């Protein structure tokens, strides 16, 4: 298979997105809806107002964090399909730790800050440990990490759902959920007055992207991860334990996924409910990472695209008679086209727009 350059990957991502949208517009027209109105609703629902922009950034923050978690593993040649489960475990650990420790600390901004730090640390540990399990199974037991991580997603959903409905259920709540986080446990938002979005959460996401990009590209640990994933014999010859590095890679990926779970709970939800109702950020993150060619920095625009589509879907569902499922169809088409990048390279070569084979 031909190796794509950075510019070619960018072109593939753009071509995939535009092709998906164009085909989506054809489907909209065939279904009897106005494609022009659909495009207008897409734009307005994504970036057409301050409220839409904030909503897009809220979704994008989580898509980018979970997308980076996937990219860490994929770039190192390990397939972590379990980010959803690690995201769930991280978020649940955040709620349990904050609610449990809150009575021991003062009910003010200082106590809230300490609780946020404790909850975030708990999420990081929970996500990392939950991801380390399939890493150990792969490295020392020869288990297929795709199968184990997929199954661990369902285990996380079932186990956390059981705990939420039982031991940690709030008896005073009308719905099945945990107790609410204290009101003073919140991320400040000095500019945007939205209860479900904070600029601090956005900054945490950007700092995470930068840190992961530097670690992957500029440190010996990042180099060892990639080498161990793709060339275990070479890694072993260089003195690196490839098995231990596989576990480290999965743990690193799970740490980022757990952090995403903490941001979701503290910035958006404020409690934990049935895991099947917390969104599919970990599953959608696979598509985000693929669109970004598993590059942590490239996950940012890819996550913004998915966040914009998610925001537009919410807007369309309320303000239009076009079925919101068409948004899911467009996302699926983007993933489909990203999965066959050689198609776009072949078209570029046939039309004289592509370079020679290397």
Q: Which of these ranges, 35-39, 274-278, 346-350, has the smallest mean pLDDT?
A: 346-350
- Does any domain span residue 176? yes
Supply the pLDDT for residue 358.
42
The neighbouring-strand residues paired with 198 are: none
* Contacts of 52 by beta carbon, 8 Å cutoff, 6+ apart: 44, 45, 46, 311, 315
Q: Which of these ranges, 156-170, 292-306, 326-340, has the smallest mean pLDDT?
A: 326-340
Q: Is the pLDDT of residue 357 over 60?
A: no
Confidence of residue 19 (pLDDT cuts 50, 70, 90): confident
The predicted-structure confidence for 74-98, as pLDDT tens digits, reads as follows: 988 899 999 999 999 999 999 999 9
- Does any domain span residue 228? yes
- Does any domain span residue 249? yes
pLDDT, the chain, mean: 88
The predicted-structure confidence for 302-324, as pLDDT tens digits, reads as follows: 999 999 988 988 888 888 777 77
**pTM greater than 0.75:** yes
- Does any domain span residue 16? no
- Does any domain span residue 225? yes
- Does any domain span residue 107? yes
Supply the pLDDT for residue 238.
72
What backbone phi and psi angles, to 5 degrees, belong to 189?
A: -135, 85
Mean pLDDT value across residues 155-161 = 96
Q: Is the pLDDT of residue 2 over 60?
A: no
203: containing domain = 71-298
Please count the structural domains in the chain: 1
Distance between CA 254 and CA 156 in Å, rounded?
Answer: 13
Mean pLDDT value across residues 284-295 = 89
Supply the pLDDT for residue 130.
98
Supply the pLDDT for residue 356.
47
Distance between CA 163 and CA 171 in Å, rounded?
Answer: 13
Burial of 7 (0-12, 13-18, 19+ CB in 10 A): exposed
> 41-55, 100-114, 333-347: which has the highest mean pLDDT?
100-114
Higher-confidence residue: 219 or 233? Answer: 219
Supply the pLDDT for residue 59.
96
The neighbouring-strand residues paired with 315 are: none
- Does any domain span residue 44? no
- Does any domain span residue 136? yes
């Amino acid at each position: 298979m031909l190796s794509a350059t950075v510019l070619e990957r960018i072109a593939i991502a753009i071509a995939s997105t535009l092709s998906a949208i164009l085909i989506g517009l054809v489907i909209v027209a065939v279904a009897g809806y106005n494609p022009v109105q659909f495009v207008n609703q897409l734009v307005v629902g994504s970036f057409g107002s301050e409220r839409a922009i904030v909503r897009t950034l809220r979704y994008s923050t989580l898509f980018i964090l979970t997308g980076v978690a996937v990219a860490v593993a994929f770039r190192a040649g390990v397939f972590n399909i379990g980010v959803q489960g690690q995201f769930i475990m991280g978020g649940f650990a955040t709620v349990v730790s904050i609610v449990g420790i809150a009575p021991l600390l003062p009910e003010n901004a200082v106590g809230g800050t300490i609780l946020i730090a404790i909850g975030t640390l708990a999420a990081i540990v929970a996500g990392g440990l939950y991801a380390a399990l399939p890493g150990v199974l792969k490295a020392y037991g020869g288990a297929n990490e795709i199968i184990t991580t997929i199954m661990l997603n369902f285990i996380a959903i079932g186990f956390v759902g059981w705990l939420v409905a039982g031991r940690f259920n709030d008896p005073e709540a009308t719905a099945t959920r945990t107790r609410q986080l204290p009101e003073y446990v919140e991320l400040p938002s000095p500019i945007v007055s939205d209860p479900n979005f904070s600029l601090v959460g956005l900054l945490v996401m950007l700092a995470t992207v930068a840190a992961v990009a530097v670690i992957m590209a500029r440190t010996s640990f990042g180099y060892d991860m990639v080498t161990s994933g793709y060339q275990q014999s070479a890694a072993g010859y260089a003195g690196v334990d490839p098995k231990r590095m596989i576990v480290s890679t999965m743990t690193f990926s799970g740490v980022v996924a757990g952090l995403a779970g903490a941001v979701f709970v503290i910035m958006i939800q404020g409690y934990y409910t049935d895991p099947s109702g917390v969104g599919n950020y970990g599953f959608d993150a696979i598509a985000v990472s693929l669109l970004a060619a598993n590059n942590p920095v490239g996950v940012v625009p890819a996550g913004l695209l998915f966040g914009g589509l998610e925001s537009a879907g919410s807007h369309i569902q309320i303000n239009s008679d076009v079925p919101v499922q068409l948004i899911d169809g467009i996302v699926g088409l983007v993933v489909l086209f990203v999965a066959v990048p050689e198609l776009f390279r072949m078209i570029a070569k046939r039309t004289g727009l592509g370079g020679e084979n290397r």
